[in-house]
Amino acid sequence: MGAFLRIILYVILIFYAFSLVIKLIFRRKMKKLQRQMERHAQNEAETYNNETKNPHIDPGIGEYTDYEEIQ
């Protein structure tokens, strides 16, 4: 009976240790992902700000003509 209880105790301890390790790994991955997302958002914001400050207008483009349907 003692061996059976010892096995169950080891299984429970291994389960808790495994869940603790998984939580730690998950937290690190999430922090890394969060930093990457923040960097990406900053780059997007900088790109957007640069595009709005210096809009590229092609001088070869003519005027806009609005066509109406004739029936």
Digit-coded pLDDT (tens) for 19-49: 999 999 999 999 999 999 999 988 888 877 7
Looking at every residue in the chain, the average pLDDT score rounds to 85
**DSSP assignment letter at 39:** H
Amino acid at 52: T
Q: What angle do CA 50, 51, 54 make, to 5 degrees?
A: 85
Instruction: Please give the structure tokens belonging to residue 63.
Output: 């005027």
pLDDT at 6: 94
pTM assigned to the model: 0.52
Tell how far CA 42 is from the center of its chain: 13
